[in-house]
Structure 1
Amino acid sequence: MQNIFFHSVSTGLLPVVGRMLVVALPIFIPVILVIVWWILRFRWLTLRFVSEQKPCLLEIKLPKEIVKSPAGMEIFFSYLAQSGAGNWGEAFIDGKTRPWFSCELVSTGGTVHFYVWMSQAKFKTIIEAQLYAQYPSIEIHEVEPKDDYVNGIHFDMDKYALSGVQYTFTKKDPYPIKSYIDYELNEDSKEEYKIDPLSSVLEFLGSLKPGENVWTQIMIRRHDSESWKHGVIHLEADEKKDGFVKKQWHNLFGKARKYKDEIKEEIEKVRQEAIPKSDDKETFKFPNPTKGQNEIIAALERHAAKTAFDCMIRSVYVAEKAASVPVNIGGMIGSMRQYGSNYLNGFKPGFTTDVSDTRKDMARIFPFVKKENEKRIFNFKKNIFHAYKLRSFFEWPYKYWKSKPFIMTTEELATIFHFPSNVVSQTPTLKRVGSKKSEAPANLPV
């Protein structure tokens, strides 16, 4: 019976399939080649555009006294929501892309620095103007490329101990982290009674010893309000259709979903959960949310009105081997945890320069796995180090490397990157200036 079956397939079906392939291949191969050519060309155009831009790094030196809340930094972040990509022709023919920025907290041997980096130097004037508008007493200095702190250390695993992490959210993007408003830093209360979560981060950075370095970059780019997110279209399923296949097929061509629509959906879910459960389905029941549910709804509604950014947060610990303190790697990762909340969002390591526990256990049994683990760790460290130095994540060569961007609003960004007062944060190694330097009045006689 089997011989008859195989004979019928070989004499009947296979020749038909062969003829179909002969007819189809001349059509599909050129189509596939054109698609591959277009993808590679678009990547090359984008790389060319990015390489032609002149980036700029600014260091911000803080005065001895700052009395403004992080709300001033929130206004600053709203000005960084630059589009810049232009029309379809500029994007897909010239390779033009939206600018991105990197707000950086750096500790060099315990000395803490604030930096703002931009992918295009043309935004330097806008950034300086907005920072001075919110914090008139600060000093802003442009850092020459040769003096960039990332150029002071080269990748050398024989000389340095290195570890890195890229963070992600603990919950869905619509849920915000615990912000400065939740900490009541926007209230007009005495400075000594305020609790600033950034203070813990600065204290950790200030506790490092000579030879140790921790670099943290908060990379942001204006969130595209259209249907694209993480390079994939988010689509809404049709509730009228049932069945897994139908829903998945509809998801290919359905209605595009925006970030703020996702927030509304999460609010509605919380409200539905707050409706008392009862067998009486005819009687209308009002939601009776708990205190935690009310706080979730209030936070979601507040953030729905804010400007959103695509974000990625990356930290690198690099130290001379003689000065390396491994426990500080855990301190670097743990310093982001105070922004979290049980009912809201928080940060957790999404990617680290280490292998899984499973691979470590396998290495105890199989020697070749140990060598493979060492090779992987070496490549992880090399790539995250160079990705940090290039400030590369939104575009090539390290586009979306090992992580996907998550969405944060101006309120959240102002929480994790702002200039604390000297009362709230008394980190002794945080560089502050005595007074702001300014030009002489214009009406003085010459």
Structure 2
Amino acid sequence: MSDILKIVFIIVIFLLIAKFFAFLLWILVPWFLILMATSLWYRYTRNKIEQKKKWILLELIPPRDIVKTPYGMEQFFSGIHGVVGGKNWLDRNIKGSVFDYFSLEMISQSGSIHFYVRTLEEFRDLVEAHIYGQYPETEIRQTADYINSVPEKLPNENYDVFGTEFIFLKENAYPIRTYVEFEKDAAIEEKRVDPMASLLEIFGKLKNGEQIWVQTLVKPTFDNWKKEAEEIRNKLFKRDKEKKEGLIKKEMVAWKDATRTVARQVIIGDILEGSSENKDDPRWKSLLDPRTVQEKDVITAIEDKMTKLGSEVIIRYVYLAPRDIYRADEIRKAIMGYYKQFNTQHLNGFQNNSRLTPGAGVDYWFEFKTLRNMYRRKEVFTNYRTRFFAQHSDVIPWLKPVFFERLPILNWLFIRSKPMVLNIEELASVFHFPAVTVKAPLTPKVESSRREPPIGLPIK
């Protein structure tokens, strides 16, 4: 009889669980359909608006001898940050309007190096004004798009292509190593370390027919990202949300303060009257602060990052070459080496986006590795050609923890690019004109001033 009861009990539990999941489906399925409809509508309306915009490509030919640090480029990014805003909820989610962005590009074609800015035509004066303001002798000219020099569909029977995008190792709140850190110990010009040197060295050694294109998409953003940074900082501070203290907790705090006072007397040798009034005393802080030196450095770095303007950024590159000289593995390691200069063990750094990198990820028994790699190569190349910037509807972040993090297969149905948040100092570190100490003989240089900068612009 007892066995029958056990079986009945198990069946009842099973039916209850099945009923619960059936009820759950009535909640999840509608939300999933809303997610898909919102994403598809947003993508459709956004593409219609993007097709109407007029983009131009400006080539930047820097002066021969740049003695400035990347601080000048930092001021440039600060200047173009003014385009942020101007879109309300209705514009973003119903009409499909997106925030404006810029594309900063460095390329090498058979060893010949070029710098470009792709911008909306309406922002041309803004871009030129801030470039001339910081680099008065720079030549700026509108030019044909270099991407049209190769077939629209790659790879093909003659050319092969490899590319990927970079994402952060940690949350956006953690900063990368910047040019300030590179130059901290540089007392004289000859000792200046320009992180751009290694990338231009790679660019300058390309063989005839090889090309590397590096693209940094910059979308100035509001300060919403700082809320996450503050939460991470507070967590490192071990701060809890303020709660009303009860009588028992007050007594416990009083006993703890009394114990600390006695400990302080034993260690330091004197007593501070009224411990709560003297918590700002540096000796008191050094005694009671449980954080390590590295933890304090992390908190300081996060706070420093929050003091400057931030932008959503996508960094991607492609390497293309005739199949007989194609050497993607060597180029991939070299470019990754350049971006790893900005990595730190206790803060942040760059890594390949495994959802877009050919050859990355897990190969299940039902996957075809060759087909997947071919698809990813085409996807990255197409994203580069179109300067694709992943901008989601406001609804997507709400549903991301429910679907994307628990059902990874949905990443195949939706956008897999992941923008990072860099402040203007970090941006200037990864994209700036090479200093005079960097030897890049195949980089076009302005021998003398070709055009005067606009009158009245501040020049640092």
Instruction: Specify whether residues 400 and 268 from structure 1 end up closer, same or farther in structure 2 by C-alpha distance, changes over 3 A only.
Output: farther
TM-superposed deviation, 1:288:
7.2
Would you say 1:261 and 2:264 are equivalent positions? Answer: no
TM-superposed deviation, 1:86:
2.1
Q: Distance in 2 between matches of 1:45 and 1:28?
A: 26
Give the number of aligned pairs. 379
Asked if 2 retains the 8 angstrom alpha-carbon contact of 1:67 and 1:421, the reply is yes
Residue 178 of structure 2 corresponds to: 179
* Residue of structure 2 aligned with 1:436, choices 444, 449, 457: 449
Whichever residue aligns with residue 86 of structure 1, its letter is K
The within-5 A match list for 1:255-294 is: 258-262=227-231, 264-265=233-234, 268=237, 285-287=287-289, 292-294=294-296
Whichever residue aligns with residue 424 of structure 2, its letter is T
Asked if 2 retains the 8 angstrom alpha-carbon contact of 1:85 and 1:97, the reply is no
Whichever residue aligns with residue 63 of structure 1, its letter is P
Q: Distance in 1 between matches of 2:164 and 2:454?
A: 48
The within-5 A match list for 1:282-431 is: 285-287=287-289, 292-326=294-328, 327-351=330-354, 352-356=356-360, 359=363, 372-395=368-391, 401-422=415-436, 424-431=437-444
Q: Distance in 2 between matches of 1:381 and 1:319?
A: 13
Asked if 2 retains the 8 angstrom alpha-carbon contact of 1:70 and 1:185, the reply is no
Matched residue SS, 2:80: coil
How high is the sequence identity, in percent, across the aligned residues? 31
Q: Which runs of 5+ in 2 are unaligned?
A: 240-258, 264-283, 393-411, 456-460
TM-superposed deviation, 1:328:
2.0
Matched residue SS, 1:393: coil
Q: Distance in 1 between matches of 2:319 and 2:129?
A: 32
Residue 203 of structure 2 corresponds to: 205
TM-superposed deviation, 1:32:
8.7
Could you state the TM-score of these two structures normalised by the residue count of structure 2?
A: 0.72
Asked if 2 retains the 8 angstrom alpha-carbon contact of 1:69 and 1:185, the reply is no
Asked if 2 retains the 8 angstrom alpha-carbon contact of 1:212 and 1:318, the reply is yes
TM-superposed deviation, 1:89:
3.1
Residue 103 of structure 2 corresponds to: 102
Asked if 2 retains the 8 angstrom alpha-carbon contact of 1:206 and 1:429, the reply is yes
Q: Distance in 2 between matches of 1:170 and 1:418?
A: 23
TM-superposed deviation, 1:393:
2.2
Would you say 1:148 and 2:145 are equivalent positions? Answer: yes
Q: Distance in 1 between matches of 2:67 and 2:321?
A: 35
The within-5 A match list for 1:21-100 is: 39-81=39-81, 82-100=83-101
Relative contact order, higher structure (CA 8 A, sep 6+): 2
TM-superposed deviation, 1:170:
2.0
Would you say 1:193 and 2:191 are equivalent positions? Answer: yes
Higher helix share: 2
Q: Distance in 1 between matches of 2:73 and 2:108?
A: 21
Matched residue SS, 1:63: coil
Could you state the TM-score of these two structures normalised by the residue count of structure 1?
A: 0.74
TM-superposed deviation, 1:62:
1.1
Whichever residue aligns with residue 108 of structure 1, its letter is Q
Q: Which runs of 5+ in 1 are unaligned?
A: 230-256, 271-279
- What's the RMSD between the two structures over aligned residues? 3.8
Instruction: Specify whether residues 266 and 411 from structure 1 end up closer, same or farther in structure 2 by C-alpha distance, changes over 3 A only.
Output: farther
